[in-house]
Amino acid sequence: MIVFVLAWVFSFVVASAGWLRIPDVDVLGQRSPVAGLLWVVSIFELPMLLLYMTLFEGLGARTPGKLLTGCRVARVDGQPPTMGDAFLRNLLRLLWITPFGPAFVLLDAWSMRVTELDQRMGDLAAGTVVVHAR
């Protein structure tokens, strides 16, 4: 939710400064500036989401959501994740929003079910696991 709000704010600031024109997008035969705005926000949201997750997990092993739920990210050897680990585990999460997203979500669910440490595909690729913080 935080990233979504940041993407909206960023889009409005950039458009208000005149550095970005919000396109009219054709939706069911009608030109819609609202759809264009949503398209622009979604373009900004993806890199912001990746940056947000990578920085929080790479620097402190947890996002605010993980902090609230008492979880953290760790490497399988118990050490905190590196920035590279955090980037890789979250980069694979972006596959969820591709046209084949539902298949990737199911693959992650299956992976969490069959792996000993309940790891999704991003965790397996990065050598990380989400654990309960003590």
β-strand partners of 129: 74
Residue-range definition of the domain harbouring residue 124: 2-132
Q: pTM for this one?
A: 0.77
Phi and psi based region of residue 69 (left: phi greater than 0; alpha: psi -120 to 50; beta: remaining): alpha
Q: Residues of the chain whose pLDDT is less than 70?
A: none
Q: How many domains does the chain have?
A: 1
pLDDT digits (tens, 9 = 90+) for 22-51: 777 888 888 888 788 887 888 888 888 899
The neighbour count for residue 129, using CB atoms within 10 Å, is 21
